[in-house]
Chain A
């Protein structure tokens, strides 16, 4: 049974020294005592009213708790006041305190054993005092440690359960008056309302965060559909622009004044292609060729290129980890990520002397670490490899940092604001995370985390460009539903010396394969076609001619399930829009490799 506090009508609090009031010290007449009690009660009411007002005004909860313990200690002239909260694990955790000697807020806790004081107060609707000698209730050792000899505890009420305790302690013998008890009770009630409000605020914030997460997901989904929907037609048109520009250039003499116009057309078309590619990447729809990638190797391959985007006044410092676990990723997209981040770092440094550090490594990312990251809050904790790009550039204020992944947000004069948006999409589609730190005037640090691949490494089988002089003879089957692409591809390949047979879709392509499959030396196969898709056509061709080189081409990727063709099954992948030169080279390489492998 809890010890119910017995208030005294004649208690010593009415004689507190130094306390302002109408009575003189030593004057203990009945009228003076009554007057002092009235004064104490009025003062208590004023404190409760002040706290209530602050709670209603939405004062920061932690600040309100601090103000409460301070005001209560002052009003009651007691040595120590603490607010304890019932933690999720049931412990009575000291949330904030005034005059405590050893307690640490957020760390020190009382026993949650209801047979001990002050935990026993959680079961009482009225204040509970220290148990008297001989009581079956034990006293929490922490009270002794704090030197508290006269303590009162009052539960902080909540709708469904108590939030915690308000504990008042004295280090000298004293008693508590009825007014003191009313006061403690009233303060605990105000605290209960404040705890309730804080819990509602927390729930509301969690709800808003969930809504934001869903909204972002919807945005990405709708953008992905839109970007994917237009990319196919859009890139086919750009193939036509780039192809015809390239073919026209081939017709002109090296001194023709028209050449520069055509080169400008090519540049503009390539910029349009880049814009689509970044949009697709942002929407997470650009992923195509998944393979095992070693991040350190990837950075090594890029270093020479990276140095070209950095001014001479800036140094690139590369620190790569050995024996890094591989990740399953689209290598070309990861190159784009590193390139975009290094370009940003170089821009942040500008023409001033500076340093860019590129570091790779492995790390364990906890849920807490991931929850603090800019992207990847919903990623499962575990083993990751990382590539970090840090610069000593101008850094960013928080308001800029909050928007850097927004498409078309840029602080650069000439930027399009798609670089980091693409990085976001790529990392998200690889189920990775990004942590960003930036300090204005000091620099910025991007750390990109990717989950490690689960099993043993396999050999990388990305087709490499041919080193020998390419051959340009043989017959190529071009399967594409877009007339412009078929025309440009045919003209480009014929100019290079190939014979070309075209098909308008996968079914027509398979009909040709069945009739004269042995005639073909390679196939250029579009991925997105009506009736029979590129992936299905590829599968059927493999059954007829397992050794025939197939070069896939696409303006965008289908959903992963369909597009997950093993890169080792095809001779190469040509991203639309492509130029005549890149098409010819890809086909030449495929034909040459096949000839070498089969001794032809």
Chain B
């Protein structure tokens, strides 16, 4: 561990998570649009989207933390 700082690690982790959340939300929306009449999976897709938004909220908090840490870390 030589160059990475907690802030840079958190920022990168948040970036990765946001990408993955976007992917999941995108596919969930596509799944709904592909077969809008299929009521048997609608509830599952709603749960997937809600949980993914929860993950995105965590990623957002990580990004905020990374910004708070910038400037407090030794070079």
CB nearest neighbor in A for B69: A222
State whether A406 and B1 are in contact (beta carbons under 8 Å apart), knowing that A237-B54, A268-B23 are contacts in the complex.
yes
Please report the C-alpha to C-alpha distance between residue A417 and residue B4 in the assembled complex, in whole angstroms.
Answer: 11
In the complex the two chains form, is A405's CB within 8 Å of B1's CB?
Answer: yes
CB within 8 Å for A219 and B6 given contacts A233-B54, A258-B35, A416-B16: yes
Closest to B39 in A: A251
Chain B contacts for A248, CB-based, 8 A:
31, 41, 44-45, 48
0/1 string, A239-254, CB within 8 A of B gives 1: 0110011011001100
Q: Mark B1-27, 1 if CB is under 8 A from A, else 0.
A: 111111011101100110011011001
Residue B71 at the chain A interface, CB threshold 8 Å:
no
Tell me the bound Cα distance from A248 to B38 in angstroms: 11
| A261: chain B residues within 8 A (beta carbon) | 27-28, 30-31, 34
Interface size class of A (residues with CB under 8 A): 35 or more
B45, A244: Cβ atoms under 8 Å?
A: yes
Near A by CB (< 8 A), chain B positions 25-75 give: 27-28, 30-31, 34-35, 38, 40-41, 44-45, 47-48, 50-52, 54-55, 58, 61-62, 65, 74
Q: Which residue of B lies closest to A402 (CB)?
A: B2
B12 pairs with A407, CB closer than 8 A: yes
- Residue of B4, B17, B44 with most chain A CB atoms under a 10 A cut-off: B44
Query: How far in angstroms is the closest Cβ of chain A from B49?
Result: 9
Interface-facing stretch out of A44-52, A167-175, A271-279: A271-279
Query: How distant is the Cα of A484 from the Cα of B41 in the complex, in angstroms?
Result: 16
CB distance from A372 to the nearest CB of B (A): 16
A residues near B61, Cβ cutoff 8 Å: 230
> Judging by beta carbons under 8 Å apart, are B54 and A265 in contact?
no
For B31, the chain A residues whose CB sits under 8 A away are: 248, 258, 261-262, 265
A313 at interface, CB cutoff 8 A: no
A256 sits at the interface (CB 8 A): yes
Which residues of B pack against A, CB within 8 Å? 1-6, 8-10, 12-13, 16-17, 20-21, 23-24, 27-28, 30-31, 34-35, 38, 40-41, 44-45, 47-48, 50-52, 54-55, 58, 61-62, 65, 74
- List 15 A–B pairs whose Cβ atoms lie within 8 Å, in order of A's numbering: A226-B10, A237-B54, A237-B58, A240-B47, A240-B50, A241-B51, A244-B51, A245-B48, A248-B48, A258-B35, A261-B27, A261-B31, A265-B31, A275-B13, A487-B47
